[in-house]
Amino acid sequence: MSLYCRNFSNLIAKRCFASSSKIPDLTKDRYPIQRGQYAELSDKDYAQFESILDKNRVLTGSDTQGHNIDWLRSVRGYSNVVLKPKTTEEVSEILKYCNSRKLAVCPQGGNTGLVGGSVPVFDEVVISLNSMNKIEYIDEYSGIVTCQAGAILENLESKVQEKGLCVPLDLGAKGSCHIGGNVSTNAGGLRLIRYGNLHGSVTGVEAVTATGQIMNLMSNFKKDNTGYHLKHLFIGSEGSLGIITRLSIQCPTASKAVNVSFLGLNSYDDVMNTFLMAKKELGEILSSVEMIDEVSLNCSNKVFNGQSPIDVFPFYMLIETSGSNQAHDEEKLNEFLRKAMESSLVIDGVTTNEPGKMRNIWLMRERIADSLINIEGYCFKYDISLPLTHFYEIVPATKERVGDLASFVCGYGHIGDSNLHLNVACKNFNQEIYKAIEPFVFEYTSKLKGSISAEHGIGFHKTKYLKYSKTPEAIAFMKQIKELMDPNGILNPYKVLPL
C-alpha cells in the first residue's frame, strides 16, 4: 500500500457559513454585557491603518460582515474594520497604535471557533491572520515545520505530506481553520490520543504582545530547557495575551498502514470496555478512538445523505490504527475485533484500509457538528472532559432536564481522550432553554471533577463558568498575567477571563 495519510478536502466550515441565512442577534442584545472603556474609531484611525497596510487590506462596511459572526451563528459583533496584515512587523505596528489609542482588538484566524471567541463582542478592531499563510520551511530530517500563523491546516497537511510527514493534529474544520488558531485554542481533534496536544508538538512561537513587542520564541528543537517556557502562555490563551504570527511544529512521519473500523454496540458500558480492550490489544498502533450515539449519527447522515455501513445501534465507535506494516497491523486489529465480538462487546462492524471507504466513515463522524447546526436552527454545544465511568450519563440527564424545550439531545466525541461533545438542538436560541442548560451542565461536570472545556476553550460563552474548573487563586493569577502582558486590556476583551 502506498504512503497514506488521511487528507480529504473538507469544506464543511466554509460551506455551512455561506449557506446560512440566519443572522444571530447582536451579542450585546442577547447577553447582559457592557462595552468597556475603549476608544471609538475615528477617521484618523482608518487613515493610520491605511498607512500601515495597503488600502485593500483595510476592510470596512459590508466586507466586515463575515468577520462579525461566528461559525455557529451564536454571537455577532458590529466591528466596522478588519485589518489583514501580511507580516509580523505590520501586526506589531497595528498593536502599538491600538494600544496607544486604547482601541480594543479581536484576533481572528479561520473563524471556526465554537465558543464565540473569534469575533468582536462590540466594535473591536478585527485583526485577521488570513493573509499570513506562508509555509516557510520543512525540515524532513527532524520533522520540524515553520510557518506563518494563518496557514490553513489542510494546506499545511498537504505540504508536509509531500515530504512523508503529517501534522499531529486533525479536525473537521481543517479546510478553514488556521494552524495559528489551532495553537491559540490548543485544539485537540481526532489524533490527540496518538500525538498528544499542541503544548507538546509546538516547538516554538513568535507572538506580538498588546504593546506591539515582538516575542521571538521560535525553536527548531523539541528539547530546549532555557528558562521559563514562555511559548506555553500563548498556546491556548485564545488571543488574550498576544497574537501568534509564526510557529514551528514537530510533524511525525506519516503512517504507511492505516485501517479504520466502524463498530456497532448496544450500551455505553460496552463502548467503555471496548476502548479498554482496544488499548490493550492495539497498543502503539491505535491512532483514534471516537464514540458516536445513535442520534448524532442519524443527524449527520440525514443532513449529508450519508450511509452507515452497518445496521442501527444505540452506540458506534470509530477506531483507527496507524502503523508501518499493514500485515502486522491487520493481524492485531483482527485479533482485537475477534475478541470484542466473542465477548459480545461489539455486535457488528466493518474494517477497511481502502482510502475511499475510510474517508466515508470519517466524513460521517466529522460532519456531525455541521449537521447539528443545520438540522433545527440552533445548537447549544458543550465540550467537556469527564471520567469515563460517568462519561455518557450527562446526555440522558440533560435530555430529562430540558424536556420538550429541545428538539433533541445527543452526545459524541473523542472518548479516547475522555472528551464528550454534548449537544442540545432546538429551533432557535431562547432564554428558557439557555437557563435550563446553563449552569446545569457545568455544575454537573464540576461535581464529577471534569473540565468545562476539553478542547474548544473558554471564548466568550464560558467566561462566567471558568470557576467550575479553576480555583479563585488560579483565576486571580491568570488576571495578574493578563494585566502584565496587556496593561490596557485591549486584546480580545470579554473573552477567557470572567469580568
Site residues, ligand MLT (CB under 6 A): 172, 368-369, 381, 383, 421
Alpha-carbon distance of 438 to 66, in angstroms, equals 28
Q: Taking CB under 6 A as the rule, which mask of x and - marks residues 463-492 in contact with ligand FAD? A: -----------------------------x
Give the residue with the Cβ less far from ligand MLT, 7 or 131. 7
Give the residue with the Cβ less far from ligand MLT, 93 or 366. 366
Using rule CB under 6 A, residue 204 touches ligand FAD: no
In the complex, least distance from residue 81 CB atom to ligand FAD, rounded to whole angstroms? 16
Binder of ligand FAD out of 24, 77, 168, 188 (CB under 6 A): 188
Q: Among 118, 246, 110, 234, which Cα is nearest to 172's? A: 110
In the complex, least distance from residue 318 CB atom to ligand FAD, rounded to whole angstroms? 13
Strand runs labelled E in 167-230: 202-208, 214-217
Q: Taking CB under 6 A as the rule, which mask of x and - marks residues 366-395 in contact with ligand FAD? A: ---xx-------------------------
Give the residue with the Cβ less far from ligand MLT, 401 or 456. 456
In the complex, least distance from residue 109 CB atom to ligand MLT, rounded to whole angstroms? 15
**386 CB-near residues (< 8 Å, 6+ apart):** 394, 418, 420, 445, 448, 450
421 binds, among ligand MLT, ligand FAD, none (CB under 5 to 8 A by kind): ligand MLT
Give the residue with the Cβ less far from ligand MLT, 24 or 489. 24
Q: Which amino acid is at 161?
A: Q
124 binds, among ligand FAD, ligand MLT, none (CB under 5 to 8 A by kind): none
Contact at 8 Å (CB) between 377 and 426?
yes
Contact at 8 Å (CB) between 419 and 188?
yes
Contact at 8 Å (CB) between 486 and 209?
yes
In the complex, least distance from residue 499 CB atom to ligand FAD, rounded to whole angstroms? 16
73 binds, among ligand FAD, ligand MLT, none (CB under 5 to 8 A by kind): none
**177 CB-near residues (< 8 Å, 6+ apart):** 13, 109, 110, 112, 152, 153, 171, 187
Using rule CB under 6 A, residue 171 touches ligand FAD: yes
In the complex, least distance from residue 369 CB atom to ligand MLT, rounded to whole angstroms? 3
Contact at 8 Å (CB) between 107 and 127?
yes
Give the residue with the Cβ less far from ligand FAD, 110 or 323. 110
Alpha-carbon distance of 335 to 330, in angstroms, equals 8
Q: How many residues bind ligand FAD (CB under 6 A)?
A: 40
Alpha-carbon distance of 418 to 289, in angstroms, equals 10
Q: Report 89-128 residues binding ligand FAD (CB under 6 A).
A: 106-114, 117-118
146-184: b (≥16 Cβ within 10 Å) or e: bbbbbbbbbbbbebbbebebbbbbbbbbbbbbbbbbbbb
What are 257's three cell numbers?
Answer: 498502514
In the complex, least distance from residue 111 CB atom to ligand MLT, rounded to whole angstroms? 14
In the complex, least distance from residue 148 CB atom to ligand FAD, rounded to whole angstroms? 9
In the complex, least distance from residue 411 CB atom to ligand MLT, rounded to whole angstroms? 10
Using rule CB under 6 A, residue 420 touches ligand FAD: no
Using rule CB under 6 A, residue 180 touches ligand FAD: yes
Contact at 8 Å (CB) between 147 and 165?
no
Using rule CB under 6 A, residue 149 touches ligand FAD: yes
* Strand duo 315-323 + 419-426: pairing: unpaired
Q: Among 113, 112, 108, 114, which Cα is nearest to 129's? A: 108
Give the residue with the Cβ less far from ligand MLT, 84 or 365. 365
Q: Which helix (H) or strand (E) holds 248?
A: strand 243-250
Using rule CB under 6 A, residue 202 touches ligand FAD: no
Alpha-carbon distance of 321 to 287, in angstroms, equals 5
Binder of ligand FAD out of 129, 210, 395, 409 (CB under 6 A): 129
Contact at 8 Å (CB) between 27 and 460?
yes
What are 112's three cell numbers?
Answer: 471556526
Binder of ligand FAD out of 130, 146, 161, 182 (CB under 6 A): 182
What are 5's three cell numbers?
Answer: 495519510
Binder of ligand FAD out of 85, 181, 204, 450 (CB under 6 A): 181
Using rule CB under 6 A, residue 71 touches ligand FAD: yes
Binder of ligand FAD out of 6, 28, 365, 456 (CB under 6 A): 456
What are 15's three cell numbers?
Answer: 460551506
Give the residue with the Cβ less far from ligand FAD, 172 or 264. 172
What does the binding site for ligand FAD look like in residue numbers (CB under 6 A)?
12-13, 71, 106-114, 117-118, 129, 149, 171-173, 177-178, 180-182, 184-185, 187-189, 238-239, 243-244, 369-370, 455-456, 459, 492, 495
